[in-house]
Amino acid sequence: MSNTATGPVSSATQLLSALSLDGRNSAEGRQINSSALEFLLPELVNALVSTTLRTKQISERIALGLDAQEDASDKHSPSTEKGQEYNATTIPGNPSMGSGWLDLPEDEELVEQVCVKLEMVGFRVGKRIAERFSPLSRRLTDTLDIVKFICKDVWTLLFNRQVDNLKTNHRGVYVLQDNKFKWFLRMSGNNGGAAAARRAQPYIWLPCGIIRGILDSFGTNTVVIAETLGLPQCTFQIKVVSEEQMVARA
């Protein structure tokens, strides 16, 4: 993979002049406290963990020929109850209003379902971001330009910073590296990287979806995956998928 594309500093000026947001810049838009999202995100993840468990339980009940809805939302699968013990999620006397979060299920299949949902949530966000912020002055047709637009403009809009490094092999693979990914900045445990990386996993899929959603808006089908080598670092890999590949996948 050749490191041809741009570091953030070298091409920032050139890029920003090319891709102006036509006056729809941050100064004009509505501003809120960045902590609002910090508080929302874990709830988002937790809510989707709980709906995923709920769906699983309903389908189990249906499989057993039981009434699908009964108690479905209030009980959790055995794996969660185990997590709950650890988590102390429920407040006595008011069991429905626990303020703690569910652990990620141990069942990898369920984790995957949660991640797929998060990716879809991100995808819709990406579509709307593209809709609202895509530069009007110049139509972005080249994938590299779109990716640059994401690295600079979108990242600045969303995270108040740019992506640290962008690499491409010029054959449809782009690697974005953010050394201080905003959503990971306050994530910290004290039992080492692996456990933390697992807990961070759901939070990676949301931005993956956002990136894919933006590219999709420009008519580019991609697969976006991400990994962290150690919080708060995060690397996103974008792979352009051709029509044929899409069909083959389907």
Which stretches of the chain bind another protein, using CB under 8 A? Answer: 26, 29-48, 51-52, 54-55, 73, 87-89, 91-94, 96-97, 99-101, 117, 120-122, 124-125, 128-129, 132-133, 157-160, 186-191, 196, 199, 203, 206
Q: Which is nearer to another protein, 88 or 246 (CB)?
A: 88
Residue among 30 and 249 whose Cβ is closer to another protein? 30
Q: φ and ψ at 178, to 5 degrees?
A: -115, 115
CA distance 237 to 250: 22
Nearest to 208 by CA among 169, 175, 243: 175
Provide the residue type at 126 as one letter: G
Compute the least distance from the CB of residue 173 to another protein, in Å. Answer: 26
Tokens matching residue 55: 């769906």
Q: Which is nearer to another protein, 55 or 240 (CB)?
A: 55
Question: CB within 8 A of 16, min separation 6: which ones?
Answer: 152, 153
Tokens encoding 215: 């590219």
DSSP per residue, 98-131: --S-PPPPS-HHHHHHHHHHHHHHHHHHHHHHHH
Q: Please, what is the minimum distance in Å from the beta carbon of residue 65 to another protein?
A: 21
Q: In this complex, which beta carbon is closest to another protein, that of residue 61 or of residue 128?
A: 128
Q: How far apart are the first and last CA of the chain?
A: 29
CB of 64 to another protein, least distance (A): 21
State the Cα–Cα distance between residues 153 and 104, nearest whole angstrom. Answer: 33
Task: Compute the least distance from the CB of residue 76 to another protein, in Å.
Answer: 14
Least Å from the CB of residue 27 to another protein: 10
> Closest separation between CB of residue 134 and another protein, Å?
13
Write down the least CB distance from residue 3 to another protein, Å: 29
Nearer to another protein, 124 or 139 (CB): 124
Distances (CA, A) of 59 to 47, 70, 108: 18, 12, 18
Q: Which is nearer to another protein, 2 or 99 (CB)?
A: 99
Closest CA to 26 of 162, 161, 156, 213: 156
User: Residue 170 or 180: which CB sits closer to another protein?
Assistant: 180
